[in-house]
Structures are given as structure tokens and as C-alpha cells.
Structure 1
Amino acid sequence: MYARTGRRECNSKSTAHRARRTSRTTHHGGRFPLTPTLARTHPDHRPRRYAPSIRLRCLSDRNAGPAAEVASRVTVVCQLVRNVRGEGSRALAIMPHTATARGGESDPASAVDTEHFTSDQILEPVAARPEVVVKQPTPSLYHRAQMIFEGLDYFNKMICPDLVCLETHFNPYRVNLQRVDNIPDIYVKVLVSVACFHRLMSNGPEPTPSSALIQKDVDVFSLRVEALQSLNEQLSEPDQQKSDATLLCVLSLMIASIQSSAYTEWRAHLEGARRIISLRGGLKKIITVNPYFKPVLTFFMLIDVMGSTTTASTHKDMAEATSMAMKYWEIETGVLQFMATTCMPCPDALFRVIILVNYLRTIAHRPGLAARRRNGTKMAIEKVLSFSPTDYAAHMQYFNGWATNGKEVGFSPVNGPPRTVSSSSSGSSHPSEASSPSTDSSRGGEADFWLSIGVMYRASTLLYVLRTLVFDSDDEPSDLLPANLLPNVDSLRLETFQVLYGALAPVFADPVSMHQIGKLIMWPLFILGMETDHTNVNLREFVTNGFAVLSHAMGTLGPLGAIEELGTKWKIDAESGPQTRVTWDDYFQGRADYIVF
């Protein structure tokens, strides 16, 4: 922990620390047992295990001066927290601590002013001392515990903020590090491996890695292998494959896979989660039994629906996915409003339209359902056109996001002050407690934010409906469009395209706006790119530059995948020529699973 320099020498001692846990204990499933282990007898006759505390004291030479005297009185207490539920999770707590006597009472001579202590007082060079330096071994579990602690801390600071819409809202995805011993070991491993992989993808590999860094990468890889092996073991056990921990792990891997890259095994995780949900009786039953699952299951619904928009209608999983999604609003009243809490805050009315469009696409080649598809197309168009961004903004300016219990979303009183708008960004680990004054300007800022969201998602949803259900269809427009739109459908598409571009352009022209809501509008930006003519170089550059900026700001590769997808789309359009129509399904047919996220 501390290096010996000059006349200082370091030594370490281990002392057993016994602490009674208050959490309920289950079977012992730890992957890395502690030695020595102290057992206690619990009233339910099941063993409890307690982790030792390891105190590392930097001893000083009495003649080394005041700086060394200060350094000699500092102890770093590394407490390896064991999962009292018997599932072996570990955490690391590092805190300044005054040295204690063997009997456990404070040593008066050891009291130091740790507030003003710095590592420079240890590293200060002094005259060399001709004595043998004894190198003390690192505690056997120190590196493992440190990796877990740092991984969970990184998860909270760099991944969780990207999962919610506004940083002023409560973030239910953060891990409480003070209660990590209550979290199943398998879930801890998954979160840490997810965090370490995200950090590697964000920072990139070191050009000349040190041996310590190489070993750290090896440890991370080993932990990821352990996590996946443990998950496979649970999936193979009938009594464990439907557990809360298994479902959480699968959903976490799904989200992490998408964050690291849009071209990963996210589809396999999605379908695995769908299977577990089905075995447990469906989303409604899960949420009824455990309402705390609502935030994480919201992401299942979001990825299920938005992933279908970039999937060919003939995909083997589309029929089941769209049929399941058509029942989402039956889970409970207002369930689709949960989407406004996420990083893709599509208004609930428009989200319902997207669900309908995905379903209508899957039945496009079923002659027996032609009438249903035509009526559904008219309904979808009318629903989008009737959506008012202004009314939506007036309602959502009082939106508070998730309640602190994680079971519901809430709104401030109509006469209460709405908070200042600020989108979540990497590094913000806690929701802001500050509220803006009840002024016209603060109220207007909240409303303007949701107005922009409403305008962009309305325009992009309408373009998606028109492209996939009208322009790509072999049916006559008169069978698909409301009567008042028949002569003006081309003009409607062009006008909607211009509205979307006009709403997106100011976002990327202003760095503040880009950081506030840039990550929230990736799907509208992708739809704009899909509708952009391949000959319009300026618009193509606007779209690709926008995704490049978002990738840099978010530290993920997902936006770069959008650039690749759109580049391929424009290339196909150019090679096909103006007389050939490349439909939405034609483009995504046979391609790797992709999602805009």
C-alpha cells in the first residue's frame, strides 16, 4: 500500500475483526473463501461467516522527523465485506483510521490530523538508511475486493446516469455500496464485469500497458468468465433459472451489450429475458409480486419495441416480440409513461403507435389480415397527427420521474415549481436536490425541454409510419390513408422531414443543448438519416457528425454503429438507382441484429 522511501519502512499486520450482521443468511455460495473464517451460530441454526479486517500500518523511524511521525500514525482499514446471504459478494471500504492498541482501545499517541495528511508526507525523500527492506505481501483478497469496489463505483458514476432522462430525477439503477453485501454474488460479478468492459471500450487500450495493467485486464476477464459461468449454471437449474437474480443478470447484460456496441449479443439476452418472463407468468405477474422490478423491466419493454423498428418484419423473433408488445399497456394503467424516465423518452402515446406499427409490419404478408393492416395503418397515422407536443409539454413540465421507492412515477403539484432541466451526464452520481425558483423562466425551461422531445418524437414516428406502412406497401394509398391526406401524402412526408431536421439542428449547434438532450434523441436522428437522400451530402454529414459527437460525449460505441448502418443504407440506395425502391425490410433483411440506443 505504502512504498518505503529513504528511512521509512513499511510493515503490515492482520487482525481479525468480528462484526455481527443483521441481514438474513442463506446457504454459503462464496467463490473466494476468506481465511481465517469466524463462524457464529444463528437462531435458525445456519452458519454465519464473517470477513476479517486487515489493517495496514506504515511504521516510521522515530528519528525520521515530523513528517514520518505523522505518517506512522495512519492506518488504512480494508474491510472485505462478505455477502451475509451466503452468495459471496465482496466490497471494499477504505477509510482513514487511527491506530489501535492490541486490546482494542485507542492509542493516544496514535491520534493524527488525518484531515491535513497527504501522501507526499510518506513519499518525501530523505537520506537512505543502510538496513534491509522487508517487502510485505499484499493481502490475498485485496486486489479482488478493490476491483469489485471500483467496478461498482464506476457503474454508478459512468453507466447509471446514461440510463435516466434527467439528472434531477431519482436514479433507481444505482447500487447502494453500503448494502452491497445483500446483493447476490452473481449480480455483483455481472455489474463489475459490465463496468470494467464499459471502461475499456470507452478509454480504449493502452498503447504500452504495464504488467500491472495487463494483470488487471486478466483479472477483469476472469471475473467476466466467472459471471457468465455462474449465470449458465443458474439457467441450467430449474429452481434458479426463474429467480430474481437470474432475470436481473440477463437484463443487465442486455443493456450493457447495447451500451458497448449496437452489434453484440443483445438479441440473445433479450430473448432469454423474454423466456424467463414467460416462465414466471408474464410482466404483469412479476410487477404485481415485485413492484421494485418496474425500472429494470421498463428497459426490457423499451429495447423490445425500439429494437423491432430496426429489424426486418420476417425476422424469426419478430412475431413473438410484437405480439407480446401489443399487450404491454394491459400491465397496469400508465405503464407506457415509464418510458419518459429512460434515455429514450418517447411520449407514451407515440410509443403505443410504434408498437402498433411493428405489429402491422409483421402481418404485411399475410393476406388474411389485410383488412386489419389497412385499418391499423389509418389508425396509426391519425394517432400521430392528433398528438400535440404543446399539450404534452404542458403536462410533462411537472414530471418527477421515478419515486424514491422505485415503484411508480410521479408529478409535482400543478402549482409547485418545476425543476431546472439538465439531462444526465457521465460523472453525475446523485440526483440534484436543488429546485429552481417558481418563476416563469424556470417553468418555461421545463416546458421547452419536453416540447422539443415531443416535436422530435412526433415527427420521427410519423416518418416511420409513412415509410414502413405506406410508401413501402404494394397497396393503393387510398386503402391506407385517411381521406383528407390522399392528395398530400408526399407533401406531408417532406414537411415532417423538415420539421424533424429543424428541431434537431439547434441541438447539435449548441454544446450545452447537445449534452443536455443529445443522448435522448438518437432514434429521431437515426430516422432522419434513414429518410435522407443519399445525394444530399450536407444532410448526410449533419447526421454522421451528430452521431460522432454523441459517441464522444457518451463514451460508447452505439452511435458509431448508427453511422455504419446509415452509410451502408446510402451506399445501397446509390447502387440501386432512382428507379429501384429499397424498402425498410429489404435493407434490414439478413443483416446483423442492430438497435439504436
Structure 2
Amino acid sequence: MDPAWGNEVQEAKEPSPSNPLGEAIAALGDNEAICPEMLVAGNCGLQNPFYVPSLAVANVHPAVAEMLKSSALAHRILQGAERPSSDRAVLATKLQRHRGAAIRLMAQDLANDASHTSFQFLVCVLVFLLIEIQQSISSSWRSHVDAALVIIDRHGGLGRLLATCEPLTHFLRYVTIIDILGATTTPCLEFVQACRQLKILPILSTLFGDGLQTCVPCPPELLGHVILVNHLRSRMQNTVSQDGSVLVLPAAWTALKSICEFSVDHWVDSVVLPSLALYDVHRIDKNARRSPKFTVPQRRLWLALTSCFKSAITVYCISTLFGDGYALHYDELDETIYGHTDLPGAKLFHQETLMSNLQTIASDQGSQVRKFTIWPLTIAGLRTQPGDEASKRFILTELMWMSEKLGTASPLIAADLLNKTWREASIWPDGEQKAWDSLFDKPYVFAL
């Protein structure tokens, strides 16, 4: 954290309730303290897409101002484990007051035909959605995402908004990430929802660029593969006959091969390291005679992080597309095309690779990338055997650390889900794993 930001937050700890503008400025002070934690590149100030100048507060939609206040309070609560419970109760009451005010202001706009179709209202919806998911306040996030996407479609869709409303780009990135990765830890998507995701594929590179502008530094190419797996999973689930499901297998094999062929080294060397060097140039004082921070020592961590995403996606692909009996038919496929693939062996290899790389990242306690592994950690945990105490302890420790460090609640929800999964898994036959679609009693999302 920048010391100057720390001082600003410290000076604005308890703004007067009678001064809403002061409260909003204080919330933005907290936001400036939080936002470097939420970006892989660690950019500060104007280089950070989370940054909002204090002078802009007066023009912020009143509902968004209330949301910022509630978000800042949630952040303080989760980072303040050492606070007396009475202090945290006071903060929680304030959080609910500001959240309630935001909902009422949005309801007023929704009742106004002229307001509820405006770009300002769209921003309100997106900010509210992201904060609700980050703090795991509402269990109805999936329906909220669907509603947000309907509003986006009314404005011409993702592609049109990217071309005509650049300030919305960062919001659209996160909504897309939530839509894609949220589908991996939920009951199977309805086929219409899965088909909707396919429309994202042509604009993925435009939307995400180098992939480093969010707290989910997954290569856009791999996100595209997740979309395809989500779609194939939905096709299998919505196919009436076993024979119909087998017809999906050739496409599933193609998807799996494409994921496995993704080059982690090429991505890190050609995209990540040059981008980080460029960000470092922007952060250096123009009058200082220094070169950008040498990025070669970062390579090991970035290889580990990118490999985590690749392995987690591979595990998800095999678990969903080659489970539930469908894979019994893979030996009927043309061996000259698909080769002699050992699915159980491939799955085990990527599970072990995923855990190894997560441990590599965690071993560097000062690393920025350690903060962005919630989704790979969750996928690893969902396939960890209940008797593997060391792996379970490691995963839970990382999730607890992440929640306190970032001031977000979703890692705590991930820990609860994993503990529940491990308790239930303890009664399964040795070596048997529950079908992926049976792991989730409701939609979960672990991306923020």
C-alpha cells in the first residue's frame, strides 16, 4: 500500500453521517488503498482502472456513492479481525444502512422509464453486482448477472459498448469473468445461458487485451476454452440420450487438446513480462534515472500462476466432460486422431501440477500474484481427497489469508464449500469422486 494512501485513509476513518460528500470521499480514500491489491500489475493512481479522482465524487451517482461506502466498510470489517466485536457490529450496521440506501436509490431509477435505460443506471447495476459478489452478500448473484447482461444487450451488447463507451470497459471485463468462471462452480448452465457465452468469443481479445487488467490474470485464450467447456457441459446435460451425449465427445476431446497445447512459457515471455516492464516504466518518476524493474526474477512466479489456470481448467474440463459415464465411450473414438489419451492419468497430473504451483506462489509471501489464486485454489480443493490433510490445510490457510489481506468475503465462502465437500467425500468409497454437477447445491462464484 502506498504510504500516502494509508495516511489519507487514516485521516478519514469516521466521516460525519451528516456529511454524505465527506463519507463518499472517505470511501474513495479506502478505494485508493484497496485498489492496488486488486490489480495484478500493482499500478497506482491514474494508471489503475479502479482509481477515481476525489474531484469526481460530486458527479458520482448517489447510489454508487452509497455502494462505495458499503464496500469500504466491508473491507474494514474483514481486515479488522483484531477489532472488538462491538466495533465490528457498529461497522456492520453502517454497511447495511448504506447498502439499503443504494438499493432504494436504484429502485427509484428502476421506476423511472427515462432513468432505468440510461448508462448511469447500467453503471449502478454493475457496481452493485460486483460489490455483492466480492462480499458474498447475496446468494442470487446468478440471476443478477443474467439481469445485468439483459441490460447490456439493450444497449447493443458487449461489442457495441466496448466500441462506444470506453469508460465501461473495466466493468464489462469483470461481468464477463464472473459469467464465465461462475459457470464452473454452479449447477450446469441452462443451454440458452451457455449459448450466450459463445457470443463473447469474438471479442475476448478486445475486451481483455493482455489479460493483466483485472484480479483474474487468466490468459484470454484459456478463458475462451472455459466458455467452450461450459457450452459442451450444458449440451451433454441437456441431451436426452446417452448416444446423443457421446456425439459431443469429439468436440470435448478437441477442447481438451487445445487446453493442453496452450504454451505457458510463450504466454509469460511474449505477453506478461513485456507488459509488466511497460507498467514499471509508467510508475517511474520521469526525472528519475532508473531503468524499469528487471522482470526475469518474476518469471518463475508468473509461470506458476499461468500454469495454475491451465491445470485448473484442464481438471474442470476432464471432470465435467469426461465424467458421469460419458468417458466410457472414449475408446470408440478414432485413435489416429485423438491418440492414446490416459484420462485418469492426465487428470491426476494436472491436479498435482496445480497444487505444486499454488505452493510455489504461496512460498513467496511478498508476491502480488498470491492474491489472485482464489479460483485455482477452489478447483484444487474440489478435487482434493478428504484424507489429504496437508493439501486441505494449505488450501484453507491460503483462503483465510486472502480474505483478511484483501478484505473480501468470497474466500470464506470457498472455504465453507470445500469443508462441506470434504465432509461429504469422507463417506465415499476410496478413490471415488463425486460427479462435478453434484458438488454444488447452488451457484457459487470465486473470481473476486
Which band: TM-score by shorter chain?
A: 0.7 to 0.9
Within the candidate set 309, 314, 317, 1:462 is matched to 314
Aligned 8 A contact 1:459 1:499 in 2: yes
Give the letter aligned to residue 310 of structure 1: T
Give the letter aligned to residue 269 of structure 1: H
Residue 105 (structure 2) pairs with residue 227 (structure 1): no
Residue 388 (structure 2) pairs with residue 512 (structure 1): no
Within the candidate set 422, 428, 431, 1:570 is matched to 422
User: Alignment length, in residue pairs?
Assistant: 425
Q: Within 1, Cα distance between the matches of 2:209 and 2:69?
A: 30
Give the letter aligned to residue 358 of structure 1: N
Structure 2 residue runs of 5 or longer lacking an equivalent are: 1-10
Deviation, 1:455, is 1.4
Aligned 8 A contact 1:530 1:566 in 2: yes
Within the candidate set 289, 296, 306, 2:164 is matched to 289
Q: Within 2, Cα distance between the matches of 1:480 and 1:594?
A: 34
Within the candidate set 429, 442, 447, 2:294 is matched to 442
Residues 312 and 143 of structure 1, relative CA distance in 2, 3 Å threshold: same
Aligned 8 A contact 1:460 1:528 in 2: yes
Q: Within 1, Cα distance between the matches of 2:130 and 2:233?
A: 25
The answer for the alignment partner of 1:86 in structure 2 is none
Aligned 8 A contact 2:74 2:92 in 1: no
Residues 225 and 548 of structure 1, relative CA distance in 2, 3 Å threshold: closer
Aligned 8 A contact 1:168 1:433 in 2: no
SS in 1 for 2:201: helix
Aligned 8 A contact 2:61 2:124 in 1: no
Within the candidate set 149, 156, 169, 2:25 is matched to 149
Q: Which has the higher contact order (CA 8 A, sep 6+)?
A: 2
SS in 2 for 1:534: coil
Deviation, 1:192, is 2.2
Within the candidate set 126, 130, 133, 1:251 is matched to 126
Q: Within 2, Cα distance between the matches of 1:546 and 1:217?
A: 25
Residues 164 and 487 of structure 1, relative CA distance in 2, 3 Å threshold: closer
Deviation, 1:580, is 5.8
Higher helix share: 2
Aligned 8 A contact 2:315 2:351 in 1: yes
When the two chains are superposed, the root-mean-square deviation of aligned CA atoms in Å is 3.2
CA offsets 1:532-574 (integer angstroms, 9 cap, x no match): 1112222221212221222222222221211111111112222
Aligned 8 A contact 1:298 1:339 in 2: no
Higher strand share: 1
The answer for the alignment partner of 1:207 in structure 2 is 85
Give the letter aligned to residue 505 of structure 1: Q
Within the candidate set 322, 327, 330, 1:477 is matched to 330
Within the candidate set 39, 47, 55, 1:178 is matched to 55
Structure 1 residue runs of 5 or longer lacking an equivalent are: 1-93, 96-138, 402-416, 422-430
Residues 485 and 311 of structure 1, relative CA distance in 2, 3 Å threshold: farther
Deviation, 1:367, is 4.5
SS in 2 for 1:461: helix
Q: Under a length normalisation based on structure 1, what TM-score does the superposition of the two structures give?
A: 0.65
Residue 224 (structure 2) pairs with residue 352 (structure 1): yes
Within the candidate set 133, 149, 156, 1:274 is matched to 149
Give the letter aligned to residue 326 of structure 1: L
Residues 511 and 446 of structure 1, relative CA distance in 2, 3 Å threshold: closer
SS in 2 for 1:245: helix
Residues 548 and 141 of structure 1, relative CA distance in 2, 3 Å threshold: closer
Deviation, 1:255, is 1.4
Residues 396 and 445 of structure 1, relative CA distance in 2, 3 Å threshold: farther
The answer for the alignment partner of 1:77 in structure 2 is none
Aligned 8 A contact 1:235 1:241 in 2: yes
Within the candidate set 166, 178, 191, 1:319 is matched to 191
Aligned 8 A contact 1:477 1:486 in 2: no
The answer for the alignment partner of 1:100 in structure 2 is none
Deviation, 1:177, is 0.7
The answer for the alignment partner of 1:329 in structure 2 is 201
Residues 367 and 330 of structure 1, relative CA distance in 2, 3 Å threshold: same
Residues 510 and 571 of structure 1, relative CA distance in 2, 3 Å threshold: same
Residues 460 and 220 of structure 1, relative CA distance in 2, 3 Å threshold: closer
Residues 505 and 302 of structure 1, relative CA distance in 2, 3 Å threshold: same
Where in structure 2 are the equivalents of 1:125-144 lying within 5 Å?
142-144=18-20
Within the candidate set 318, 329, 342, 1:488 is matched to 342
Where in structure 2 are the equivalents of 1:50-449 lying within 5 Å?
142-158=18-34, 160-168=35-43, 170-203=47-80, 206-209=84-87, 221-261=96-136, 264-313=139-188, 315=189, 318-331=190-203, 333-337=205-209, 339-365=211-237, 366-367=239-240, 370=245, 373-400=248-275, 418=278, 432-433=283-284, 442-449=294-301
From the CA coordinates, give the structure whose radius of gyration is larger: 1
Give the letter aligned to residue 20 of structure 2: R
Deviation, 1:179, is 2.1
Aligned 8 A contact 2:36 2:43 in 1: no
Give the letter aligned to residue 154 of structure 1: D
Within the candidate set 385, 388, 398, 1:546 is matched to 398
Deviation, 1:583, is 0.1
